[in-house]
Amino acid sequence: MLFNSFHYFVFFILVLLFLDTVRRKEFQHSFLLIASYYFYWAFSASYVLVLVLSTLIAFYSGKAIVEVASPRWRKSWLIVGLVGQLGLLGYFKYTNFAISGFTSFLSSIGFESATPHLNIILPVGISFYTFMAIGYIVDVYLGRFQPVDSLKTFALYLSFFPHLVAGPILRAPEFLPQLRRTLTLSAENIRTGFTLILIGLLKKIIIADNLSGFVQKTFNGDLTQDSLVVFIGIVAFAVQIYCDFSGYTDIAIGSARVLGLEFPGNFAHPYFATNITEFWQRWHISLSTWLRDYVYFPLGGNRRNKSRRYISLLLTMAICGLWHGASWNFLIWGIYQGVLLVAHRSLFFENGFMNDSRWNPVKILATFYLTCIGWLIFIIPDPPKLIFYIKKMLFWDLQSSGLNSLLNGYPKVMVVLSIFIVAHLISYWAKDLVQTLASLRPASWAVCMTIGAIGLFFLAASTQQSFIYFQF
């Protein structure tokens, strides 16, 4: 069930009507759990079985960890929980990748193998909810959080429909305490939530979807583009993936807020980052902080010497790359991000080079340029094509025919990019634009929402697109 569909609109209104009618917490939780499983079932009924299994493994391993007295048994149950979650994720997401890699290795040493490609369907959102389950198990083991007694409550935490298929990745200590109270609808939450939902739809439907065709045309065609076309194409993808994913996040956070629940923010204007470390503090924040707390710190983090810190960073970002997809380009993209992080720490952060704020415009442009090169690695799995496009970004050659041809075929592209730049600058300078809009008088707020809805109708892309991060 896509957020940008009429199906979701009807579904969400029905959920609101029920919660406004039923005031007993137990009934509310039961209904939300049923609604969340229906939401997931709308993608595929088989996905629900995987979600249920992940829920049972996390819930009962968490309970077992605190019920046994022996440290050895506590660690054993921790391992059981982690192996169960990673086993599910590994089987569905990485089995064919591992088979392909093993077959290639055998071929390289002279053994030909006709290993079949298994017909495994990747459950949508599995990377998100398994990371939530892993975080819960680890938090319980380390004593950061007491396990919940109710399987229903825990199942709702893991399956709650706004975050289920593309995050944000929630932490148990942040979300589960909110379920201890009865959910009530308030005018403030409704205005703030629907403002976020509309902004998310505007990002997705007007910006991201209208850029999709241009991006595909640029990177799926013949290798004849000049550097300017490649640059505009990858800038368009950078805007597309940001508006697509942050748009989804806005709708998720807004949907939860309308229901009286709060999610943490997941984006903070990442393309205004002055360095790659700051970029990862602003981009997909729930993932970057999860990797910091559950991967980087356990590897040693900042407590070790420089070499160990740098190796930990590279390993963490390699895992980040593989989390995004079972493909070599995602692994290389993660390592590339790790190299940039190490370079920033060693050349700039630890030596204080270019720390003066007067350098900020240069650093923002340089960080965005390096990020765009990373996005090339992210979207192009074919090595020869990737090398071609990276060369175009590093060694510029300018022509006019290719650019004119693309822009004549996609007249909306420059308009859409211009709309994004203006809107992004306004939202950056205005700081809390959502709260400003939500705080307007009811009549003024209704007018703004109506204008936004009209914009969705007239400026929507001709073809509805799925959200990019559904594949992860």
From the list 29, 163, 324, 344, the catalytic residue is 324
Torsion sign (Cα): 14, 19, 20, 22: positive
Distance CA 283, CA 378 (A): 15
Task: List C-alpha distances in Å: 136 to 50, 63, 108, 381.
Answer: 18, 11, 42, 34
Three-state secondary structure readout of the chain: CCCCCHHHHHHHHHHHHHHHHCCCHHHHHHHHHHHHHHHHHCCCHHHHHHHHHHHHHHHHHHHHHHHCCCHHHHHHHHHHHHHHHHHHHHHHHHHHHHHHHHHHHHHHCCCCCCCCCCCCCCCCCHHHHHHHHHHHHHHHHCCCCCCCCCHHHHHHHHHCCCCCCCCCCCCHHHHHHHHHCCCCCCHHHHHHHHHHHHHHHHHHHHHHHHHHHHHHHHHHCCCCCCHHHHHHHHHHHHHHHHHHHHHHHHHHHHHHHHCCCCCCCCCCCHHHCCCHHHHHHHCCHHHHHHHHHHHHCCCCHHHCCHHHHHHHHHHHHHHHHHHHCCCHHHHHHHHHHHHHHHHHHHHHHCCCCCCCHHHHHHHHHHHHHHHHHHHHHHHCCCHHHHHHHHHHHHCCCCCCHHHHHHHHHCCHHHHHHHHHHHHHHHHHHCCCHHHHHHCCCHHHHHHHHHHHHHHHHHHCCCCCCCCHHHHC
Distance CA 277, CA 238 (A): 18
Q: Is 163 a catalytic residue?
A: no
Catalytic residues: 324
